[in-house]
């Protein structure tokens, strides 16, 4: 049975742990910040790693922002990061749809349940879309909508994919369009299916929580392109050359971040206890997902 080592307060153990890796993949929500609250000494900790010659890559399941949007957030947070180091689940989904998914020529449009981040990343891959932040979808459903969805006249015949992500403007109408496209054979994808979103030091509906009505009504789960899907690691590795044995995944959620690192056969995983998962979950006998090590908060790595 694997055991997770607590590094907090142990400078010797921290140095030994860090020396094993050249690349650190960082989860964002719950590790660097909770919403707009940047955790203490995060910029200093990341600077310390860069000063030790480590390469940093940011890998977030939050699909509401594009890589460019995240670059602006990093800048505002005083965290040095360039766009090539940032990967969101919207980017992973756009790469999958553009380069892996084989869609009929007349079915290449995507219906989005989600925010602008998904729209921007699909556009950057030349993928047409509808739904998403369309203001015409932010209204109550009317009888005419029921009738037009039922006979299909409301639907765009080019739509071949339903892509579900975190949507802060979800409503019955948007979900009804998603179900109608799925019922007509659209491929069902999700940027991610995280149950909750760490925000304001609490937990709110995550992408999985928002998309759950579609799963219940359609009766099938989407293919998720965010962590722990290895499609996301493949998308990262296509841009960032790395030796997986000298790469460490740092995250707050066992079933996405730590599972992502273990399944990807990375050299190590580090859990940070400022987000979703609690240490009791992975210290328990027979725990399914056990990080190699853990710290109370990221800045504990400063020693
Ligand atoms: O979509 C969600 O549910 C949240 O954005 C997700 O929990 C946060 O993503 P992270 O940066 O922790 O991968
Ligand atoms: Mg997280």
Going 293 to 93 to 45 to 40, the CA torsion angle's sign is negative
Q: Residue ranges of the domains in the chain? A: 5-61+228-302, 104-224
pTM (two decimals): 0.96
* Phi, psi angle pair for 130, to nearest 5°: -145, 175
Res 2 pLDDT > 80: no
Would you state the pLDDT for residue 1?
A: 62
Give the residue ranges of DSSP H helices in 52-171: 67-76, 89-95, 116-124, 143-150
Neighbouring CB atoms inside 10 A of 172's CB total 11
What contacts 191, CB < 8 A, 6 or more positions away?
A: 61, 63, 88, 89, 90, 92, 93, 114, 118, 163, 164, 165, 166, 207, 224, 225, 226
Q: Which of 116, 118, 117, 60 is nearest to 85 (CA)?
A: 60
Q: What is the pLDDT of residues 179-211, one digit of tens each?
A: 999 999 999 999 999 999 999 888 999 999 999
The CATH number that domain 5-61+228-302 falls under is 3.40.50.1000
Res 10 pLDDT > 80: yes
Percent of the chain with pLDDT over 70: 100
C-alpha angle 241-247-250 in degrees, rounded to nearest 5: 120
Same fold, 5-61+228-302 and 104-224: yes
CATH homologous superfamily of 104-224: HAD superfamily/HAD-like (3.40.50.1000)
Mean pLDDT of 44-51: 98
Ligand 1 — pocket residues by CB below 6 A?
27-30, 60-62, 166, 192, 194, 197, 206-207
Atom of ligand 1 nearest to the CA of 165: 1
Mean pLDDT of 135-150: 98
Contact of 95 with 43, CB cutoff 8 Å = no
User: Which residue's CA lies nearest to atom 3 of ligand 1?
Assistant: 206
User: Ligand 2 centroid to 168 CA: how many Å?
Assistant: 18
Q: What is the pLDDT of residues 13-39, one digit of tens each?
A: 999 999 999 999 999 999 999 999 999
Instruction: Provide the 3-class DSSP secondary structure of residue 132.
Output: coil
DSSP single-letter state for residue 195 = S
Q: What is the pLDDT of residues 70-109, one digit of tens each?
A: 999 999 999 999 999 999 999 999 999 999 999 999 999 9
Write out the catalytic residue numbers. Answer: 27, 29
* Phi, psi angle pair for 169, to nearest 5°: -125, 30
- The overall average pLDDT reported for the chain is 97
Would you state the pLDDT for residue 55?
A: 98
Contact of 83 with 67, CB cutoff 8 Å = yes
User: Which residue's CA lies nearest to atom 7 of ligand 1?
Assistant: 197
> Number of C-alpha atoms within 13 angstroms, CB side, residue 267?
16
Would you state the pLDDT for residue 3?
A: 86
Would you state the pLDDT for residue 174?
A: 98
Mean pLDDT of 222-231: 97
User: Ligand 1 centroid to 61 CA: how many Å?
Assistant: 4
Would you state the pLDDT for residue 296?
A: 98
Please choose from 207, 229, 232, 252 the residue to mutate so as to test ligand 1's pocket, defined by most ligand atoms within 8 A of CB: 207
Would you state the pLDDT for residue 201?
A: 84
User: Ligand 2 centroid to 34 CA: how many Å?
Assistant: 9
């Amino acid at each position: 049975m694997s055991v997770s080592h607590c590094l907090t307060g142990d400078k010797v153990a921290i140095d030994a742990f860090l020396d094993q890796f050249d690349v650190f993949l960082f989860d964002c929500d719950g590790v660097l910040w909770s919403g707009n609250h940047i955790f203490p000494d995060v910029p200093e900790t990341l600077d310390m790693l860069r000063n030790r010659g480590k390469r940093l890559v940011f890998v977030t399941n939050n699909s509401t922002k594009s890589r460019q949007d995240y670059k602006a957030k990093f800048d505002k947070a005083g965290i040095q990061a360039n766009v090539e180091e940032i990967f969101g689940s919207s980017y992973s989904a756009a790469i999958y749809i553009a380069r892996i998914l084989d869609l009929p020529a007349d079915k290449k449009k995507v219906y989005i349940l989600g925010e602008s981040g998904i729209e921007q990343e699909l556009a950057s891959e030349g993928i047409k879309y509808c739904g998403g932040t369309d203001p015409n979808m932010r209204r109550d459903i009317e009888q005419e909508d029921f009738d037009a969805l039922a006979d299909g006249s409301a639907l765009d015949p080019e739509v071949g994919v339903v892509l579900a992500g975190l949507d802060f403007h979800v409503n019955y109408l948007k979900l009804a369009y998603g179900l109608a496209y799925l019922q007509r054979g659209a491929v069902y994808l999700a940027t991610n299916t995280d149950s909750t979103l760490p925000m304001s030091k609490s937990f709110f509906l995550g992408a999985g929580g928002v998309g759950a009505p579609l799963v219940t009504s359609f009766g099938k789960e989407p293919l998720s392109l965010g962590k722990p899907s290895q499609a996301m690691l493949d998308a990262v590795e296509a841009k960032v050359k790395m030796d997986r044995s000298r790469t460490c995944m740092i995250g707050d959620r066992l079933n996405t971040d730590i599972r992502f690192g273990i399944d990807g056969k990375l050299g190590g995983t580090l859990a940070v206890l400022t987000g979703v998962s609690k240490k009791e979950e992975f210290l328990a006998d027979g725990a399914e997902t056990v990080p190699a090590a853990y710290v109370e908060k990221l800045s504990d790595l400063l020693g």
